[in-house]
Structure 1
Amino acid sequence: METEIPAMLHNRMKEHPETFTFHSARMRMKHVNAEELKKMDIDSDRCALELSDARCDVLAYACLVAIMCQGPGYHQISEKRLAKVVEENAERAPIVSSAGALITGIKRLKAKKVSIITPYMKPLTNQVIDYLEASEIEVIDSISLEVADNLEVGRLDPVHLIDHAARLNCKGAGAVVLSACVQMPSLPSVQKAEDLLGIPVLSAATATVYEILSNLNVAPIVPNAGSLLSGTIK
């Protein structure tokens, strides 16, 4: 997210008048497993407090699986808790979570069925599937790349995602989630995969940017980032 959100905002600024600054606070995690993800989620309160000092106009909680591994609907609990942390610092700002944004983004595309790619070990991917299906989104097919080291996830080549997407069973899918993880890079391949598959392609990152821009009351448009950010979604 620290690379793809600024990249999308920068690409948008080339074509639209609004300008943005980007700020981040980091939650520690080295290995993508349930134990570290739960510790990471607890640390989100500290990060929200730190960023509220900067009087940011919107805050985004970037780790999708840290929320989804807590059980269905947890993004709503998390967003409310973080909003309270910010308010207690005499500030108010909308809270966006990548988990909630992905669900909202899929529904904005009017997709009831999806196929997904994750970098996770299969048990975590299954938790993501359960979370989506609890939100009335059917997962037709999934590919787990099974990379447990968080740094290695960030070093995966997004170009390979196009080949992975081509292996997905997309029959009946209304959309493909090219990266159900904000750590796995995907932005360079989102539009290419969409052109290849002929159906909308989004990622946790593109969905988060849609919600960030919407909460800033500016048009959620980013060039070459898939249908969700094309400006055609109402």
Structure 2
Amino acid sequence: MMKIFNVQHQQPLERLAPAGRIGVIALATDFNIEMDLSRMYPDDVQFFTSRVKNINPLTIENLRTMAPGITETAATLLPGTQLDAIMYACTSGTIAIGVERITQLIQQVQPNVPVTNPVTSALAAFDQFKAKKISILTPYTEAVNQEVADFFSNQGYEVLSIAGFGFEDDTAMTYITAQDIQDAALATCDEEADLMFISCTALRASLVLDTLEAKLKIPVISSNQALTWHSLQLLQYPKRVTGFGRLLLQKHL
């Protein structure tokens, strides 16, 4: 005859991720965001991912089709559990949909939770280094790059150069090697730039940030590095993170 028992825990329940819990809204096709965040987040911070449907090819019009799904996706992030911050993890999507709109869509179902995105994070990073003149590297087409350059120009930055790999497939962007990212950044960064920004959460740029900064002698910011840094700022995380560029060594805002 089977025996059935009730047991009681003897130790106090542990709070997992004692330093903070971060919700991540990733694109359905993004291979890279979780790998990058796993490399950069400290062990006492955890992130939890839900994915929003997106459409290839990557165009501004197709990026805007994500907007209706953002609220539904945000609602699936650890329902019933308090999150300390939420990120929408698409740089070009943020430019296409708009920073304020994305925050509004998320906070409809996650009220009072701080929200960030790659654009807000990047702008905060630019300000951290007092950068005025920037070079940008992306995986995007010329049409999307024009929108990206116009956005940052309208924010008051002088975009000295923008270069793109010309990809329209979001998944394929992740297949661009770290070596190609490094070589392209070195080849296209303007010598007058105060800072270089490598745009797109799908690019594995975190692997070459230290090397690029050593060679270029300026801060190099990537979308995922900026998201990591800014979300840690929202948590008021006290420690610095080494191995991924100068930004993660900076103090709180």
Tell me if TM exceeds 0.5: yes
Q: What percent identity do the matched residue pairs reach? A: 21
Distance 1:220-1:147 versus aligned 2 partners, 3 A rule: farther
For residues 116-174 of structure 1, what are the alpha-carbon distances to aligned partners after superposition, in whole Å with 9 as ceiling and x for unaligned?
10000111011011111111111101111011111101121122111111111422211
Q: What's the TM-score once normalised by structure 1's chain length?
A: 0.87
- The question of 1:120 aligning with 2:140 is answered yes
Q: How many Å separate the matches in 1 of 2:188 and 2:238?
A: 32
The aligned length equals 219
- Which residue, out of 102, 109, 112, partners 1:85? 109
Residue 17 of structure 2 is matched in structure 1 by none
Q: Name which one, 1 or 2, has greater alpha-carbon Rg.
A: 2
Distance 1:220-1:42 versus aligned 2 partners, 3 A rule: farther
Task: Output the amino acid matched with 1:85.
Answer: V
Distance 1:220-1:101 versus aligned 2 partners, 3 A rule: farther
Instruction: Structure 2 unaligned segments of length 5 or more: list them.
Output: 1-32
- The question of 1:44 aligning with 2:70 is answered yes
- The question of 1:133 aligning with 2:133 is answered no
CA RMSD of aligned residues (A): 1.7
Task: Say whether the 8 Å CA contact 1:213–1:220 is kept in structure 2.
Answer: no
Residue 16 of structure 1 is matched in structure 2 by none
Q: How many Å separate the matches in 2 of 1:198 and 1:77?
A: 36
- Which residue, out of 194, 197, 203, partners 1:174? 194
Distance 1:114-1:216 versus aligned 2 partners, 3 A rule: same
What's the CA shift for 1:5?
Answer: 1.1
What's the CA shift for 1:36?
Answer: 2.3
* Structure with greater proportional helix content: 1
Residue 231 of structure 2 is matched in structure 1 by 212
Instruction: Structure 1 unaligned segments of length 5 or more: list them.
Output: 14-18
Q: How many Å separate the matches in 1 of 2:89 and 2:224?
A: 8
Q: What's the TM-score once normalised by structure 2's chain length?
A: 0.81
Task: Say whether the 8 Å CA contact 1:63–1:182 is kept in structure 2.
Answer: yes
Q: How many Å separate the matches in 1 of 2:126 and 2:193?
A: 11
* Structure with greater proportional strand content: 2
Task: Say whether the 8 Å CA contact 2:71–2:108 is kept in structure 1.
Answer: no
Task: Output the amino acid matched with 1:144.
Answer: G
Q: How many Å separate the matches in 2 of 1:28 and 1:108?
A: 33
Residue 249 of structure 2 is matched in structure 1 by 230
